[in-house]
Chain A
Amino acid sequence: DSGVTQTPKHLITATGQRVTLRCSPRSGDLSVYWYQQSLDQGLQFLIQYYNGEERAKGNILERFSAQQFPDLHSELNLSSLELGDSALYFCASSVGIENTEAFFGQGTRLTVV
């Protein structure tokens, strides 16, 4: 158990819908990272928050947004869902701004039908 909690574990939704994925980082970790993992593209970095502020941004689509709340939990919002958004979404956390070791949650498997 990494100490990072992601909910829900599985999510099935229809195209065009909007979903929210939730992540609680390890106690004491200030950075939260969101990743998308699909079979053909591997792990893709989406976005990082540090202590409530956006820190780094990857190839995150405009339909996707995220935020980190004062209690440090984070949410990833995915809207206007498309079939291609079906993937495993991981959240990771680390103590500092730049992770030398990040701890991953078990992921949310999103299926868009």
Chain B
Amino acid sequence: GQNIDQPTEMTATEGAIVQINCTYQTSGFNGLFWYQQHAGEAPTFLSYNVLDGLEEKGRFSSFLSRSKGYSYLLLKELQMKDSASYLCAVRNGPGNNRKLIWGLGTSLAVNP
């Protein structure tokens, strides 16, 4: 079957670094996405990985290991505004029916 696991909640301190893990089991893997969603708002795109390795974009980095079915999102120099839910999503399926399967999200609380 298809399954995406990520921790339900995490807490971190302003200015610190936090790593949010995501493990997945899927067939026909075609990319992994991270989105940020503030409460009551729309998800916004953070990163996309399709090959193994680290993608860095400012304070945010995302890592993928396809052989391990594993990704993480690394947030550096945490700010209060980073308090949000972080959604891991995997794209899979045959070429004519690819879709995103979403994890339930990790709710991150950044404390002063």
| Bound Cα distance A105, B41 (Å) | 9
Partner of A103, one of B45, B89, B103: B45
- Determine if A45 is an interface residue (Cβ-Cβ < 8 Å): yes
A102 with B45: CB separation less than 8 A: yes
Q: How many residues of B contact A (CB 8 A)?
A: 22
| Bound Cα distance A99, B71 (Å) | 19
Given that A43-B87, A98-B91 are known contacts, is A2 also in contact with B99, CB under 8 Å in the complex? no
Distance of A33 from chain B, by nearest CB (Å)? 8
A45 with B48: CB separation less than 8 A: no
A100 with B42: CB separation less than 8 A: no
Residues of B within 8 A of A105 (CB): 42
Partner of B101, one of A45, A99, A101, A106: A45
Within 8 A of B (CB), among A28-42: 41-42
- Determine if A49 is an interface residue (Cβ-Cβ < 8 Å): no
Q: A42-B103, A55-B96 are in contact. List 11 more A-B contacts (CB 8 A).
A: A2-B42, A42-B105, A44-B102, A45-B99, A48-B99, A56-B97, A98-B30, A100-B31, A104-B42, A106-B41, A106-B42
**Nearest 9 CB-CB pairings of A with B:** A104-B42, A43-B102, A42-B104, A101-B45, A56-B97, A45-B99, A56-B99, A100-B48, A104-B43
B residues contacting A by CB (< 8 A) are 30-31, 41-45, 48, 87, 89, 91, 93, 96-105
A residues contacting B by CB (< 8 A) are 2, 4, 41-45, 48, 55-58, 90, 98-107
